[in-house]
A and B are shown apart, each in its own frame.
Chain A
């Protein structure tokens, strides 16, 4: 019986050791602007009067789980799961529960500010909204005038969120071609790899799969709804066999039947060897392949002729060849109810795009596509969309891309990537900007809910970039490291203080959900839509004057049809005029009763009242089995050809391998005395956005660096010793966690800690910042950040 882990033992053994005890932070005393840490009376729920419950959607991570907010006397006292939402299945994770601490965080951005000191110094003066808008207007007009109406002299950046598109409408109306979002530090390669191979980024039917290979994904810690909930009710010999492939022993490994400690960055060799076994032993679904594959014979002969044998892969991956053979056979024995889990992480190795292609093809060999227990495309409830305003500015230059260069065999691509995706390459763009390789001057920057100083490898370079920008406008809720380099700070309302654009969630059980405002925005904060409405109202006419001055096309049009008519097409205020609630009502107007259901219950789907059933206190049924969208295309992939694309000659034209193959350059050895730096996620934190959350820091106040126990012993490192981690680009400091859960030649710590912003009371220099030391490696296809390609040194300090 191992359950005898006592409170004391638990505390001793826990990384979550805290010295924070006693800082009582309860909702009421956070309403003041001071950092009052006075102990309050017990703040349990049910003590206030005037109680109401408002359905909303969580924003503590990307999942958007449905929550019910309990409000007592105008204060949110509790967030509970909203059982009506099929995606989040009646649950809220620790971060979802801690949303209240984010709302009442005393460090929140409270009013508009203009920089008063040097960039990064953290000195700002409080201004009125109009003063802030005036400042932005003046600087924007100056830059646009000097750049002769080249709208692309401004860069727009956004993090993920329900209002990301609202901000993007500002970028589109403004007319810049420079858009950088989270994609290139997020899931660009996985989405694109599956996109070109299967025609879409599929979901996984974790409720019915019998065999799951989870490689480089960690659903017990990087929670994705509903995958996490569906999977772990069925592991441990309860219906789903789980093979976890990860260089670290994660919480997912703890729930697996088999854990395979793979060498970082070699998953592609593992998949190719699985494929080799399946092809040579002819275990694949021959009927499915004959009907649904393109380029199968070429791929088959490539894999076989290259001798991607289990023995070959074993030497590269450190996974025993017998295990590879066994897994390949077991997977195909369970197919099509077998899943090679796609995952949705950042790019780790330079071969990630090819890895995703190989995974998608392997999945197809078992026929587990668009079918129960396999990968599924599902259905999506359509929303009414409106035309966005995207005026044509003749003087606006194209996106600031790298130079076109000749790749091998006369093929062309760009100097830092083969394909420029809509979200761009953060590292590529930033480095070109710093190296003076821009085709024109980019002088201003609007940032929404995005923290590139923390989220993009090589923080020092991102800081340099922000310092070089003449105008940086940041819209955010927290004084992040990035906000410290802003010239103007515009405080956004917290997610519990605003109604966001309604969103449709596709899948097996499609639904529509809405984030409803729970309480009025505190301080002087506003939803981004309201911020942009006011800002564009002030900007619209003056910047049109600049267009009039330089844009000959516009001049001609005005002569022909008059200024009023032309201005109507250039009025950047247009997309923001309507209020959010009204906008949402229109978007769902084709579904009777939807707007009301979304406002009062948070969730809507056709026949919800008929279909939704509570099966037990914990379990609910959202759709009857016969209505679940397991198969929507008769098992065919969503590619234009309707087939799994093994061999893409159009990729070859851009200098990309047309089929997934292993290249010698993917192999590496770690120099003596160095360690492979690994980063990753955690169930209690979502990147840097949650690093100052008091309730989450209560569980783990700082991140720790995992060092193999034997190595730690050799180096005289003990638990909680301070360690300096350094690479060619920087240094960071954090405490040690010696453990056997990591290889002797690797170190790991979770992302999102070690912020340098002094305005973050708790996050300031708490733990280490991975991106201070991760080097700016990019993968060759999209220029996405390759985050596991850095070797580091460690020393006790």
Chain B
């Protein structure tokens, strides 16, 4: 029993997309730009050459925020979306009927359709791959060149993520929606 979350030192991100490839390899995700559990968000740069806004080109590694109050879970008519024993938001493909309510409800656009199972898929913190093998990192964290991610148990005060969140300021995405994400962007 744990309450898994992730802290992201997003200022380290160089948008190399190592995490995206590692995630796909580890978890056997289909190819295609619309099939991904994680991604790096960028905006169109602001300004006119050569007067450009550096801040407008900030990179935001993103994925399922594993909300404590997840809208996707609330709207699911078949309970396919559920919290597992480690508070990870999961999808049971056996129960999913692809009504796509969850995809619309997710404020973070973190869900997509796996064309093989024809069900909704999303990040599960490598639960059925790495964590099952007893590893303590997700594929995205392990491979990251600039070490953006710290994955761990938020309920364990001694865990690195708990320590980092105590010591540093952080923000969550779309906090005003009250979803209580377990992904924390370190400032």
Residues of chain A at the chain B interface (Cβ within 8 Å): 1-8, 10-11, 13-14, 16-18, 20-26, 39-46, 77-81, 90-94, 96-98, 100, 220-221, 223, 225, 228-229, 232-233, 235-236, 238, 249, 251-256, 259, 261, 318, 616-619, 683-684, 694-696, 698-699, 708, 710, 739-744
What are 12 sample pairs from A and B whose C-beta atoms fall under 8 A apart?
A: A41-B116, A42-B117, A45-B129, A93-B143, A97-B143, A228-B146, A251-B59, A252-B14, A261-B50, A695-B21, A699-B17, A740-B45
Q: From B25-33, B67-75, B80-88, give the one contacting chain A.
A: B25-33
Are B42 and A5 closer than 8 Å at their CB atoms? Answer: yes
Are A80 and B185 closer than 8 Å at their CB atoms? Answer: no
- Interface SS majority for chain A: loop
B141 located at the interface, meaning its Cβ lies under 8 Å from any Cβ of chain A in the complex: yes
- Partner of B16 from the list A6, A21, A80, A94 (CB cut-off 8 Å) is A94
B115 located at the interface, meaning its Cβ lies under 8 Å from any Cβ of chain A in the complex: yes
B50 → chain A, closest Cβ, in Å?
Answer: 3
B52 located at the interface, meaning its Cβ lies under 8 Å from any Cβ of chain A in the complex: yes
- Partner of B60 from the list A3, A39, A252, A741 (CB cut-off 8 Å) is A3
B160-187 vs A, CB cutoff 8 Å, 1 = contact: the mask equals 1000000000010110000000000100
Which chain B positions have C-beta within 8 A of A254?
Answer: 15, 54, 57-59
Are B14 and A695 closer than 8 Å at their CB atoms? Answer: no
Are B144 and A91 closer than 8 Å at their CB atoms? Answer: yes
Which chain B positions have C-beta within 8 A of A698?
Answer: 21, 24, 31-33
Which chain B positions have C-beta within 8 A of A26?
Answer: 28
Which chain B positions have C-beta within 8 A of A90?
Answer: 142, 147
Whether A741 touches B160, Cβ cut-off 8 Å, given contacts A5-B62, A699-B21, is no
Which chain B positions have C-beta within 8 A of A94?
Answer: 16-18, 20-21
| Cα distance, A5 to B30, chains bound together (Å) | 22
CB-CB nearest 5 A-B residue pairs = A21-B32, A5-B41, A261-B50, A44-B28, A7-B109
Query: With contacts A5-B42, A699-B17 known, what are 15 further pairs, Cβ within 8 A?
Result: A3-B185, A6-B41, A10-B39, A22-B30, A42-B114, A78-B139, A79-B25, A81-B143, A225-B145, A228-B145, A233-B147, A249-B45, A253-B54, A259-B52, A744-B49
B56 located at the interface, meaning its Cβ lies under 8 Å from any Cβ of chain A in the complex: yes
B43 → chain A, closest Cβ, in Å?
Answer: 6
Are B45 and A46 closer than 8 Å at their CB atoms? Answer: no
Residue of B nearest to A17 (CB): B33
Residue of A nearest to B152 (CB): A617
| Cα distance, A18 to B31, chains bound together (Å) | 10
Whether A232 touches B12, Cβ cut-off 8 Å, given contacts A46-B129, A618-B150, is yes
B65 → chain A, closest Cβ, in Å?
Answer: 10
| Cα distance, A23 to B29, chains bound together (Å) | 11
Which chain A positions have C-beta within 8 A of B30?
Answer: 21-22, 24
B11 located at the interface, meaning its Cβ lies under 8 Å from any Cβ of chain A in the complex: yes
Are A13 and B128 closer than 8 Å at their CB atoms? Answer: no
Are A97 and B25 closer than 8 Å at their CB atoms? Answer: yes
Are B31 and A97 closer than 8 Å at their CB atoms? Answer: no
Max chain B Cβ within 10 angstroms of own Cβ: one of A24, A39, A238: A24
- Partner of B24 from the list A80, A695, A743 (CB cut-off 8 Å) is A695
Which chain B positions have C-beta within 8 A of A229?
Answer: 145-147
| Cα distance, A558 to B105, chains bound together (Å) | 87
Are A741 and B146 closer than 8 Å at their CB atoms? Answer: no
Residue of A nearest to B145 (CB): A91
B23 → chain A, closest Cβ, in Å?
Answer: 9
Query: Which residues of B from 78 to 109 have beta carbons under 8 Å from A?
Result: 108-109
A252 → chain B, closest Cβ, in Å?
Answer: 8
Residue of B nearest to A683 (CB): B16
Are A8 and B109 closer than 8 Å at their CB atoms? Answer: yes
Max chain A Cβ within 10 angstroms of own Cβ: one of B14, B17, B58, B108: B14
Are A92 and B31 closer than 8 Å at their CB atoms? Answer: no
| Cα distance, A704 to B58, chains bound together (Å) | 21
B120 located at the interface, meaning its Cβ lies under 8 Å from any Cβ of chain A in the complex: no
Which chain B positions have C-beta within 8 A of A25?
Answer: 31
Residue of A nearest to B56 (CB): A2
Residue of B nearest to A18 (CB): B33
| Cα distance, A163 to B129, chains bound together (Å) | 35
Residue of B nearest to A235 (CB): B11
Are A81 and B43 closer than 8 Å at their CB atoms? Answer: no
Residue of B nearest to A236 (CB): B11
Which chain A positions have C-beta within 8 A of B56?
Answer: 2
Are B34 and A21 closer than 8 Å at their CB atoms? Answer: yes
Whether A699 touches B20, Cβ cut-off 8 Å, given contacts A39-B116, A233-B146, is yes
B47 located at the interface, meaning its Cβ lies under 8 Å from any Cβ of chain A in the complex: yes
Which chain A positions have C-beta within 8 A of B22?
Answer: 92, 97
Residue of A nearest to B174 (CB): A4
Whether A228 touches B14, Cβ cut-off 8 Å, given contacts A3-B60, A249-B57, is yes
Which chain B positions have C-beta within 8 A of A24?
Answer: 30-31, 116
Residue of A nearest to B22 (CB): A97
| Cα distance, A25 to B30, chains bound together (Å) | 8
Are B146 and A21 closer than 8 Å at their CB atoms? Answer: no
| Cα distance, A90 to B142, chains bound together (Å) | 8
